[in-house]
Structure 1
Amino acid sequence: MSYRKELKVAELAVQRATLLTQRVFHEKAKGTLSKDDKSPVTIGDFGAQALIIHAIRRNFPTDEIVGEEEASSLREDKDLSNQIWELVNTTKLDDEASEEQLGGSPKTEREMLQAIDAGQSAGGRHGRIWALDPIDGTKGFLRGGQYAVCLALIVDGHVKVGVLGCPNLPVDNSAPLSADVGDKGGEGRGVLFAAVLGSGAVSRPLSRGALQDSQPIHMREVTDIAQATFCESVEAGHSSHGDQAMIAKKLGIVKESVRMDSQAKYGSIARGAGDLYLRLPVRADYQEKIWDHAAGDLIVREAGGQVTDVEGRRLDFSQGRTLKENKGVVAAPKDVHEQVLDAVRSVLGSK
């Protein structure tokens, strides 16, 4: 299958959702709640999820969806629900044909809440399942840094389509990577990454209307691992910074690692702005969520990279809502992936 329609709908849906998140990003009050796991969620998360799920249901009504958010708290807080409805109801692409392709927006607040709640699939190894993170990197979103709108189609346990909307990354694929790259958004910012299995990966500028022209992206060739650029999570609770520093030392890397939130890290290394992305286990019982990795995993692999866990196993998206058969993530260009993996094993194995 070419997945041409799936890719087009996913790219347009993510692009429209990023417009909504950008409106919230520039507001001082973002309607923030705390979930049961103490992680934050904003009106941007809810609104983006509503728009994307509505588009999927209109175009692929029998597909399942694994989404990060659910709407029970909104049914208890009418004022917050009204805020989100106002956002959803007034966020549209400027291009009528693109809006028509997406099936418009939810017609009522009730329909919006139903869309948010339609992301409760258990996932699994059979059928067509969309994995959605409406705002990946909510803490980055709140602090004015990097975040991403993430969507992937998984078919029978394998990722077939992946799309990342990164509103604060530079459009220029050759822009040097630094921790503050694109913070606060601005001119020349906003990029859409996409890939279909077997067809390569591309980037294009985010827009307010129809999709802009794309260009192929590729991992950078690393001839000297000591000159590589590491990407890692900002939050120490997401990845072990101490282990990462030891791995960098073992590889002879002297550059300071670049810390940024969200799957913007996957997009950054896929286009060669960075080279390596490590997400190292912080505790034995932690299970990564599929929506945090599905799109980025495919985009990096289609750009010429390799993505495994710390034991060298491919990420397994057939196990439900989490990557319960995997521990951590190691993403790198194919030619040096094994070298990086050896260093990871050496450091983690010595603990």
Structure 2
Amino acid sequence: MFELTPQVQFALEATRQAAMLTAQIEKELVSAALTKEDRSPVTVADYASQAVVAAALQRAFPNDTLVAEEESGYLHQPQSKQALQLVTQYVRRLEPTADENRVCAWIESGNGKAEGRFWTLDPLDGTKGFLRGDQYAVALALIEDGKVKLGVLGCPKLDPDGRLQANGEGALLIAQLDKGSWITSLRNPQTFRRLQVSPQADIRQARILRSFESGHTDADRIQAFAAWLKIQAEPLRMDSQAKYALLADGQGELLLRLLSPGKAEYREKIWDQAAGSLILQEAGGKITDLRGQPLDFSQGRTLRNNRGVLASNGILHAQALAALQAVGAVPED
């Protein structure tokens, strides 16, 4: 079992509160008539989630650094006045002293340096999923000297038994280095269940998890990859680091994050991978880039030394790397 240290207590409660707040925002602001172009609920949820976690961090560990996705500049613009008012209203549900200045200051505190010991946060991972009513997550991790020591995911649309539920309990996952990966209810956290990856050793039977959005991967190469390995099952498309939760729980064997055509120079952001990668590894899985190199969290706000992501149950990792090479999915540089 993981150790209930002050850092663990903070990470669990801050992630839980932020995830439940994003679920409230989704319920109240996202409607069936919402157009794809209208991202205002995403804006409110993103900023409110980051403000809540940042405020909690300042209380718990005032000297710790936060490296988060959002900056407050947008909220200072005249056209963003209504958004800032909404963000402040939602933050005040958890932080009664919140006002617009405090909210912006909390958000801006996420602009810390990614060096030494720091926390990294994706306040709303899976924005398109959020708008569709599908999977999204709040992802928080503690990194020390380039190593992920603690990772927590709050997944409002994933139940603690691993089912994808639109209106269920939600799931709260935690991994502590060398202490395993665990899952419990987001709404009513009590008993934690230990996670374990799938024991599947026949790669033809592998279930692939991939991003829902084609712009986040290379769908044609994933199809070629599956054909090369004679995998019959269609890939499961879903948003956010909730994919790592399913992989860690044995509900898939491979996760692919290939380089999208036209975005060959893209580098993953650390907050998009830190929490999920540790949750997978502590459940017995393996994660590397497409060249088989470990993810390097010591290079600032991006995984500068890595290209793409391959995650697996461990057993199938070497075969998957070979197949990626065979279908030309491995960057040359």
Shorter-chain TM-score above 0.5: yes
- Hey, what's the Cα distance between the residues in 2 that align with 1:253 and 1:172? 26
Counterpart residue identity of residue 47, structure 1:
A
Which residue of structure 1 aligns with residue 10 of structure 2? 9
**What's the counterpart of residue 156 of structure 2?**
167
Displacement of 1:350 in angstroms is 8.6
- CA distance 1:320–1:33, shift in 2 (3 Å): farther
Q: CA deviation at 1:33?
A: 11
Residue of structure 2 in register with 1:296 after alignment: 276
Q: 1:234 to 1:221 in 2, by over 3 A?
A: same
Which of the numbers 96, 115, 121 marks the counterpart of 2:106? 115
Match for 2:126 among 106, 116, 137? 137
Correspondence list, 1:1-351, <5 A: 4-29=5-30, 41-76=42-77, 77-91=80-94, 106-124=97-115, 127-173=116-162, 175=163, 181-182=164-165, 185-187=166-168, 189-207=169-187, 211-282=189-260, 283-348=263-328
Could you say if the C-alpha distance between residues 137 and 11 of structure 1 is closer, same or farther in structure 2, counting changes exceeding 3 Å? same
Specify whether residues 233 and 106 from structure 1 end up closer, same or farther in structure 2 by C-alpha distance, changes over 3 A only: farther
Contact 1:232 1:279 in 2 (8 A): yes
1:54–1:105: 8 Å Cα contact kept in structure 2? no
Secondary structure at 1:274 match in 2: coil
| 1:341 positional shift | 1.0
| Alpha-carbon distance, 1:346 to partner | 1.4
DSSP 3-state at the match of 1:300: helix
RMSD over equivalenced CA pairs, Å: 2.4
Work out the CA distance in 1 between the residues paired with 2:74 and 2:320: 43
CA distance in 2, matches of 1:250, 1:105: 56
> 1:163/1:105 Cα in 2 relative to 1: closer, same or farther (>3 Å)?
farther
Structure 1 residue 32: Cα displacement: 10
How far apart, CA to CA, are the structure 1 residues paired with 2:40 and 2:257? 18
Residue 167 of structure 1 and its aligned partner are, at CA, apart by 0.6
Task: Using the TM superposition, name which of 136-145 and 108-117 deviates more.
Answer: 108-117
Task: For residue 222 of structure 2, give the secondary structure of its aligned residue in structure 1.
Answer: helix
Structure 1 unaligned residues grouped into runs of 5+: 92-103, 176-180
TM-score normalised by the chain length of structure 2: 0.91
Q: Distance in 2 between matches of 1:169 and 1:140?
A: 12
Size of the alignment, in residue pairs? 324
TM-score normalised by the chain length of structure 1:
0.87
Mark the runs of 5 or more structure 2 residues left unpaired by the alignment: none
